[in-house]
Amino acid sequence: MYRFDIEQKATKRRLTMEIYPGIPIGDKRGNLVSVYTASAHLQLHFCSGYVTSKILGEVTFIGEFDGKLSGLIVEKEGGCSLYANVDRKLLSGDFTKLGPEVMLSGIALSLSDSILPDTSSPSKAVRKSRSRS
């Protein structure tokens, strides 16, 4: 288990993130990411990859099942966001055609498109992590 405590004193934001690689989850094994804040406990089961962004100061953890994505975003400033069951097609579509309440999840998870398997060609390699500046 890996544990990270993130605190931003100026904004009084604080969170703890724990990463459990390859643990039993039900009758399968997978990666679990947990985030604890003063008012929430968020978990991403079966995390399959992550993307870091130095410019945004965040890391996005991704899990995918049946064409739906869930993403847990942890900011270096102590913030976090969770997007669940987002249709993968939203990441590569035209964001301007989406309503604002749907657009945010597509934009937030669009960085993860680079680590997801290419579903148009089964021979393309899967990339599990990537750093973006």
- Mean pLDDT, the chain, integer: 82
- In this structure, are residues 13 and 79 in contact, taking their beta carbons and an 8 Å threshold? yes
Q: Within 10 Å of residue 118's Cβ, how many Cβ atoms? A: 12
What pLDDT is stored for residue 21 in this prediction?
97
What pLDDT is stored for residue 68 in this prediction?
87
Q: What is the pLDDT of residues 94-132, one digit of tens each?
A: 777 777 777 666 666 766 666 666 655 444 444 445 555
What pLDDT is stored for residue 50 in this prediction?
92
Residue ranges per structural domain of the chain: 2-132
What pLDDT is stored for residue 115 in this prediction?
64
Q: Which pair of tokens denotes residue 117?
A: 């398997």
- How much of the chain exceeds pLDDT 70, in percent? 74
Q: Within 10 Å of residue 17's Cβ, how many Cβ atoms? A: 20
Q: What is the pLDDT of residues 74-99, one digit of tens each?
A: 999 999 999 888 887 776 767 777 77
H, E, C per residue of 44-109: EECCCEEEEECCCCEEEEEEEECCEEEEEEEECCCCEEEEEEEEHHHHCCCHHHCCHHHHHHHHHH
What pLDDT is stored for residue 112 in this prediction?
67
Distances from the Cα of 122 to the Cαs of 32, 50, 126, 129, 132, in angstroms?
26, 21, 10, 19, 25
The stretch 57-70 carries a mean pLDDT of 89
Phi/psi-derived region of residue 2, left when phi > 0, alpha when psi is between -120 and 50, beta in every other case = beta
Report how far residue 86's alpha carbon sits from residue 126's, in angstroms, rounded to the nearest whole number.
20
User: CA Rg, the chain, in Å?
Assistant: 15
